[in-house]
Amino acid sequence: MTDDPFQNPPFWASRLINLPTTKTIGKGKMLFRVSHRFYPTVRSGYESFYGLNGPAYILLSLGYGITNNFSVTLGHSNLYNEFELSLQWLAFNQGQGWMHPFSLAFSGGGSLITQKQEGKKVFRSENAKLNLQMSLSRQVTNSFSLLMVPAYSSNTNHYPYNLEPPSKETWVLGAGGRWTIIDDFSFIGEWVPVLSGYKANAHGWGSGFEYKIGGHVFEVFGTNCFGLTSDQLLPGGDLKLSKKDYRIGFNIFRTF
């Protein structure tokens, strides 16, 4: 039995920009997600309309709640034509019998790159990746929540243009939070530093705003990452925060 002193959940969406939250889909419900990352940066200027006129990477996914605490999701990203199958299990919620000071959920899955390469087969070990993420959320007040996500991903250095040896893993410790400013309008932010293994040009980060209305949740933000599946984004991004450069992205979640 849950004795929850808060009116709102710690997070409205299953993703805090990129990091998985402890939000579940719910038994018998479906969650449709659209994630969009413009590749050009804001500093590219008016010629690309500050990145909005440039090419973009897109992920479409559909999840189904098998139980209130367990769900399965299938997604596809046009980046490397990659498919991702993921599972989520909510172990417990914060405040259940006042015994748990936080909520805990596990997310795991795998992805497969299906982009064709001359002379190579699609179904080979170099194209397959696995990941495991543990989401711990703490709702401090009705309007302020924190999130921590230790995560692991295999084979993150598969890119054909990399000079380093392939099949290198990545370990990260992501952190973020959501602060509701007024009603269902919130500020969201996250920082995803790589602890060991393969790392992109910079640690991943993102910040922006979230708005919930009915069964929809909208997120608009700046980020240095262009990856969309868990295995794509965990190694970090290509833009450095010290250079004050970022790209625009958004997520749309619809539960029905």
Residue 234's contacts (CB-CB under 8 Å, 6 or more residues apart) are 131, 151, 153, 156, 170, 172, 192, 194, 204, 227
Q: How far apart are CA 130 and CA 200, in angstroms?
A: 18
Residues of the chain where predicted confidence (pLDDT) is lower than 70: 1-5, 96-98, 119, 158-167
Q: How many domains does the chain have?
A: 1
Residue 1 lies in a domain: no
> Which domain does 143 fall in, by range?
15-255
Residue 8 lies in a domain: no
Domain at 209, CATH number: 2.40.160.40
User: What is the tens place of the pLDDT at every residue in 208-221?
Assistant: 999 999 889 999 99
Residue 4 lies in a domain: no
Residue 2 lies in a domain: no
DSSP class per residue in 196-221: EE---SB-EEEEEEEEEETTEEEEEE
Residue 112 lies in a domain: yes
What integer pLDDT is reported at residue 190 of this predicted model? 98
Task: Please give the model's pTM, rounded to 2 decimal places.
Answer: 0.90
Q: What is the torsional sign of CA 145, 150, 151, 157? A: positive
Place of tokens 């997604």: 75
What integer pLDDT is reported at residue 2 of this predicted model? 47
User: What is the tens place of the pLDDT at every residue in 24-82?
Assistant: 999 999 999 999 999 988 888 777 787 788 889 999 999 999 999 999 999 999 999 99
Residue 9 lies in a domain: no
249 and 38 in contact (C-beta within 8 Å)?
yes
Q: Tally the C-alpha atoms within 13 A of residue 102's C-alpha that lie toward its C-beta.
A: 14
Residue 110 lies in a domain: yes
